[in-house]
Amino acid sequence: MIFEFFRWWYGAGWRRMIRGVGAAPAAVERNFSVAILLGTLFAPWKRIISVQGRSLDTKVQAMFDNLISRLVGFVVRLFVLFAAGISIGVTFAGSVVVAIVWPLVPLLIIFCAFKGATG
């Protein structure tokens, strides 16, 4: 049974871990909806838009309201994209570290057991 464990750990388990190096950052990218954020970067914030009236005064007011709404939407989406970039980078780095450490874990357990037995 122990040999089957090592066979899985250094075979299928390690392959799954290597695939996770690319899959984990992709999952974070999907959770942040980066493609949608990029596509709507200049869209108004929460689709708040002002309808233009007949007079020049209301048209100018609506133009500035819509400009501010788009500016707020741009800034918020930009901060979320920045947070997504950081999260994707941290997730990727963590996945790489886990994939590198993966083959060492059983050896570390054996080493700790031996070290604990010898005092």
In the chain, where are the structural domains located?
2-118
Confidence (pLDDT) at 110:
84
pTM of the model: 0.76
If pLDDT is split at 50, 70 and 90, which confidence band does 117 have?
Answer: low
- Alpha helices of 11-104 — where are they, by DSSP H? 12-32, 34-39, 56-101
CA–CA separation, 56 vs 62, rounded Å? Answer: 10
Contact 45, 69 (CB under 8 A): yes
Checking if the pLDDT of 40 tops 80, the result is yes
Handedness of CA 57, 59, 62, 67 (dihedral sign): negative
If pLDDT is split at 50, 70 and 90, which confidence band does 6 have?
Answer: confident
Checking if the pLDDT of 50 tops 80, the result is no
